Amino acid sequence: MPEQAHVIAGRCTTIFEGTREQEQHGDVLVLVKPDNTVLVHDADGYQPVAWLTRPDSVTVTGDTVAARDGDQSLTVTVHDAHSHGQHDVGDAGLPVGHCPDCDDTLLRSDGTISCLDCESAYPIPRDATVLDEQCTDCGLPQVQVQRGCSLVCCPDCDSLTDRVRRAFDRRWDCPDCEGSLRVLYRGGILLGCDRYPDCEVVYSFPTGTHDGTCDCGLPAFETPTGRRCLDSDCRAGATD
């Protein structure tokens, strides 16, 4: 969902009070971002001449921008506005194809694939690779994720947890009892003992592919940061 930013271009006086007290006057561009950050730019260089990052409060009127954060304040007085308006802004991202609903551009930003026009949004794992191939059912780009093995999923039609469950549910024994490790979802994909609450063994499912067995007997995984045991605290070593 787009948020709005205030943009003012004109002849202004800026007064900053606090750690870097200063007063400046000139033709500047004033930007008030959706997170309340206030930036004042002149024509020289990329760094603002005055700013206040995410202040506690901002008030924007026709001729004044007043921001305050504790003992610091930034006041911009607009003497002659060449342009003054509010504009929609949103996240920028990597183009990853076209929306199947409206044909506008799909963007990948952090953990989401979203449409610029119709605002459709689909969460994806942050480590996922977006593929050129499209889902034959809905038309969204497919994503590839490493969770025990390489899995190709649709962000809308498929459940990554279900795919991991079909591949690895009860595949490994619990190290503390005679139970088996089940694939669970509790804010993330987990492997937990099926004898819970009698046995409380639980591990986060690593990002990577299953690769043999650790010296402790648990499965090992090849991950982006190297080979490791399912138990991130294991000191035995994830060796073949």
Q: For 83-117, write each residue's pLDDT tens digit.
A: 999 998 877 889 998 898 888 899 998 789 998 88
The rounded distance, in Å, linking the Cα atoms of 196 and 159 is 24
Reduce the secondary structure of 61-77 to three states and give it as a string.
CCCEEEEEECCEEEEEE
**Contact (Cβ atoms closer than 8 angstroms) between residue 96 and residue 113:** yes
The rounded distance, in Å, linking the Cα atoms of 79 and 11 is 6
Assign residue 239 a region: left if phi > 0, alpha if psi is -120 to 50, beta otherwise?
A: beta
Range 3-89 classified under CATH 2.70.180.20: yes
Which whole-number Å values give the CA distances from 13 to 5, 16, 186, in the listed order?
20, 10, 53
Which whole-number Å values give the CA distances from 17 to 64, 77, 188, in the listed order?
16, 14, 45
* pLDDT interval class at 1 (50, 70, 90): low
**Contact (Cβ atoms closer than 8 angstroms) between residue 138 and residue 154:** yes
Collapse the DSSP code of 30 into the 3-class scheme (helix H, G, I; strand E, B; otherwise coil) and give the result: strand
What is the pLDDT averaged over residues 200-204? 96
* Domain coordinates in residue numbering, the chain: 3-89, 94-158, 168-229
**Contact (Cβ atoms closer than 8 angstroms) between residue 40 and residue 30:** yes
* pLDDT interval class at 157 (50, 70, 90): very high
Q: What pLDDT does residue 208 have?
A: 94
Query: For residue range 13-25, what is the model confidence (pLDDT) as tens digits?
Result: 999 998 888 999 9
Q: What pLDDT does residue 119 have?
A: 77
Give the Cα-Cα-Cα angle 182, 186, 189 (nearest 5 degrees).
55
87 contacts: CB under 8 Å, gap ≥ 6: 4, 5, 7
Collapse the DSSP code of 80 into the 3-class scheme (helix H, G, I; strand E, B; otherwise coil) and give the result: strand
Q: Is the peptide bond before 197 cis (omega within 30 degrees of 0)?
A: yes
CA 148 to chain centre: 23
Rounded to two decimals, the pTM is 0.68
pLDDT at 237 over 70: no
The rounded distance, in Å, linking the Cα atoms of 99 and 114 is 8
